[in-house]
Amino acid sequence: MTTVLGCIADDFTGATDLAGLLARSGVRVSLRIGVPSEPPQDTGPFEVIALKSRTAPVHEAVAETRAALAWLRAAGAQRFFWKYCSTFDSTEDGNIGPVAEALMDDLGTEQTIYCPAFPENGRSIFMGNLFVGQQPLAESPMKDHPLTPMRDSNLMRLLSPQVTRPVGLADRLTVARGAPALRARLDALKEEGVAHVVVDAVADEDLTIIAQACRDMPLMTGGSAVAMPLPALYLADGTLPAGATKGQTPDIARETIVLSGSCSAMTNAQVAAYIAQGAPAYQLDPLTLSQTGAAPVLDWIAAQDLGAAPLVYATADAQSVKSAQEALGVVQAGVLVEQTLAACAVAARDAGARRVIVAGGETSGAVTQALGVTQLDIGAEIAPGVPWTFCRSGGHQIALTLKSGNFGAPTFFRDAQDRLDAL
């Protein structure tokens, strides 16, 4: 099917977040990890390409994103969405503006919008200033982010040094007057030569109005939430045929492996809850791993009944993580754990596991790579922002869910299995 909306996300969990929100409407959404090396084939109405460019130097991010755009155009898309973080993770030499400008040049379009708001998750924009909950961005914990410390909350000021053309604002008072008023404001700004327009949004209603006003722009940019109303709008006016809705959920065997490499507070609670429910569990300790290698855990998996959905976890509290990092080095400890969990995923799949539940953003990257997964079809949501996905690995169809750090309820590992059983 011709692709109606081509989306490019600057990181992997951002791509799953966007794909999950688009799929809420019931349309088919396909996610690809990196720019596919093959020309488009069997594409869906909504294609999302996940890049790893959030903190990449400008020239690299621009080149990668343009390659993604070219692939999506070859798939037939005429409208595009550039997705970045709802905290606009991008400092003065960040790449959000340069990437948007390069995409605009390739598409020959004079104007785009910037709307990272995600009211459901506490991200709102008022008078061009981004808030995280009740705090301005620059007073939120984002001010101390290790890679992208955000020291200004004003999106126009953040964007201006990154782009060559003028930056402007369509404020909340305009948005509140509805889609035609917003459209008129955007047109007036275009007359003045304003190419980059920050658009205020403090509630979901604002996002619907923005989507209505901007749905036919060649390029929209923002967080995932402003894209969420688009499928329903395209279905309503026939841009998207009614048959674009998802097919049947595939029947996937019950053998399951749960792999947890996240050390977030929520994942610690989820691991504890799952063990308390009596799940078979194996704890990975990075120090022991550095001496024994993966053999003991792989032997353990081989001896398991995968019907009981065993758990392998490196999840630990902050103190244990710190001492492992001091002994092995931060990167080394992380890589050791990620590679071991990735090897566990392959071993479990080869032993018959067809449902794979993964906790941790980096861990998810390592697992998908080891499983050779490059394309996922988005299925039912287990928790906000965490869908089941269906993909092929080692000649088998498998169900895979990838949960980043703080997502999901404490009962997530069980919830995921129940959700798939209920489909």
Q: How many angstroms separate the CA atoms of 162 and 169, rounded? A: 16
Q: Is 366 exposed, middle or buried (0-12, 13-18, 19+ CB in 10 A)?
A: buried
> In the set 86, 262, 368, 389, which binds ligand ADP (CB under 6 A)?
262
**Binding segment for ligand ADP among 18-26, 125-133, 179-187, 330-338 (CB under 6 A)?**
330-338
Q: Which segment (4-12, 52-60, 87-95, 329-337) binds ligand ADP by CB under 6 A? A: 329-337
Write the CA distances from 147 to 34, 141, 144, 263, 266, integer angstroms.
22, 13, 9, 19, 23
Question: What's the closest the beta carbon of residue 81 comes to ligand ADP, in angstroms?
Answer: 24
Bridge-based pairing state of the strands 79-83 and 5-9: parallel
Q: Does 261 bind ligand ADP (CB under 6 A)?
A: yes
Sole window of 35-43, 176-184, 228-236, 355-363 interacting with ligand ADP (rule: CB under 6 A): 355-363
Kindly state the smallest distance separating residue 281's Cβ from ligand ADP, in Å.
14
Site string for ligand ADP, 272-301 (x = CB under 6 A): --------------x---------------
**Residue with smaller CB distance to ligand ADP, 12 or 81:** 12
> For ligand ADP, how many residues bind (rule: CB under 6 A)?
22
Q: Which of 222, 361, 379, 385 contacts ligand ADP by CB under 6 A?
A: 361
Is 363 one of the binding residues for ligand ADP (CB under 6 A)?
A: yes
Q: Which is nearer to ligand ADP, 160 or 411 (CB)?
A: 411
17 binds ligand ADP (CB under 6 A): no
Give the residue, chosen from 10, 89, 206, 338, that forms a contact with ligand ADP under the rule CB under 6 A.
Answer: 338
Determine, following the binding rule CB under 6 A, whether residue 223 of this chain makes contact with ligand ADP.
no
404 binds ligand ADP (CB under 6 A): yes
When binding is defined by CB under 6 A, the residue of 103, 220, 263, 416 that contacts ligand ADP is 263
- Residue 337 interacts with ligand ADP (CB under 6 A): yes or no: yes
- Choose between 91 and 270: whose C-beta lies nearer to ligand ADP: 270
Q: Toward ligand ADP, which CB reaches closer, 128 or 261?
A: 261
Q: Nearest residue by C-beta to ligand ADP?
A: 360
Specify the residue, 55 or 212, whose C-beta has the smaller distance to ligand ADP: 55
Please report whether residue 20 would count as binding ligand ADP according to CB under 6 A.
no
The verdict on 50 binding ligand ADP (CB under 6 A) reads: no
C-beta closer to ligand ADP: residue 124 or 262 = 262
Three-state DSSP string of the chain: CCCCEEEEECCHHHHHHHHHHHHCCCECEEEEECCCCCCCCCCCCEEEEECCCCCCCHHHHHHHHHHHHHHHHHCCCCEEEEECCCCCCCCCCCCHHHHHHHHHHHHCCCCEEEECCEHHHCEEEECCEEEECCEEHHHCHHHHCCCCCCCCCEHHHHHHHHCCCCEEEECHHHHHCCHHHHHHHHHHHHHCCCCEEEECECCHHHHHHHHHHHCCCCEEEECCHHHCCHHHHHHHCCCCCHHHECCCCCCCCCCEEEEECCCCHHHHHHHHHHHHCCCCEEECCHHHHHHHCCHHHHHHHHCCCHHHCCEEECCCCHHHHHHHHHHHCHHHHHHHHHHHHHHHHHHHHHCCCCEEEEECHHHHHHHHHHHCCCEEEEEEEEECCEEEEEEEECCEEEEEEEECCCCCCCCHHHHHHHHHHHC
The least CB distance from residue 377 to ligand ADP, in Å, is 23
Q: Which is nearer to ligand ADP, 154 or 264 (CB)?
A: 264
Q: How many residues belong to the chain?
A: 423
Interface with ligand ADP includes 356 (CB under 6 A)? no
In contact, 267 and 360? CB cutoff 8 Å? yes
360 binds ligand ADP (CB under 6 A): yes
Burial degree of 387 (CB within 10 A; 0-12, 13-18, 19+): buried
- In this chain, which of 113, 321, 376, 386 binds ligand ADP, going by CB under 6 A? 321
Nearer to ligand ADP, 150 or 259 (CB): 259
Residues in touch with ligand ADP (CB under 6 A) = 261-264, 267, 286, 314, 316, 320-321, 324-325, 333-334, 337-338, 360-363, 404-405
